[in-house]
Amino acid sequence: MRTPLLAVLLVVAGCGQPATTAASTPPQTSTPAPAPSSTPQPTDNVPDEPELSKKELRYLTALAKAMGEKDVQSLTAYSYVDDGYIVCGRGDEGPPTVDLIVENLEEDGDMYAAAIKHLCPKYLPVWRKAAGGFTDGVYTVGKDIRAGTYRTTPGRLTKCYWERSTGAGRIIDNQWVTNAPNGATVSVRRGEGFTSEGCGNWIRA
């Protein structure tokens, strides 16, 4: 029996095999977009710092000038304001004392001066006693400390040694203090060296 012409034409044209590929592929479905959430999303916004009071602004202005900064904006305002209030007694160290100020003059003298003057002026008498003081160490008079007469801060002295020397290192005067209930007093001149060991803090007499 002859093959029907239509069947022959379909085989020759490559259409004799069933098209299974398209039929076997499952229909594609689109994923619905998530519904907008009503829960507030976190943002990177940082709350503004509290507005500075007039006295805080005066303090920052004085501190910026002492530090050689052009304006207050160069300082991290509230970080320095917090430090100023710590100087005024809000920290663990308590209110400023003569000894506390003297021991911090070299590193934080500018901050103590600005904070006490503008944030807590009631401590100005304490500041005036401490300003210009120094603690144990080796100094050149006229460079590191001013010439004049100094006394140790109140308290009994034991095992204290002080020494005045020339610019060449020759000892002019010295004293080994083993027991001084009223402290020690010494006068130094410009160009001299002054050494203090175990004597604590010195303030202008």
Cα separation, 139 vs 121, in Å, equals 31
Token representation of residue 171: 């000892």
**How do residues 91-144 score in pLDDT, each as one tens digit?**
888 999 999 999 999 999 999 999 999 999 999 999 999 999 999 999 999 999
Q: What is the pLDDT of residue 34?
A: 55
Q: How far apart are CA 60 and CA 81, in angstroms?
A: 7
Domain ranges of the chain: 54-130, 134-204
Is residue 78 very low, low, confident or very high in pLDDT (cuts 50, 70, 90)? confident
| CA-to-CA dists, residue 26 to 17, 22, 23, 31, 141, angstroms | 20, 9, 8, 15, 95
- The pTM score is 0.71
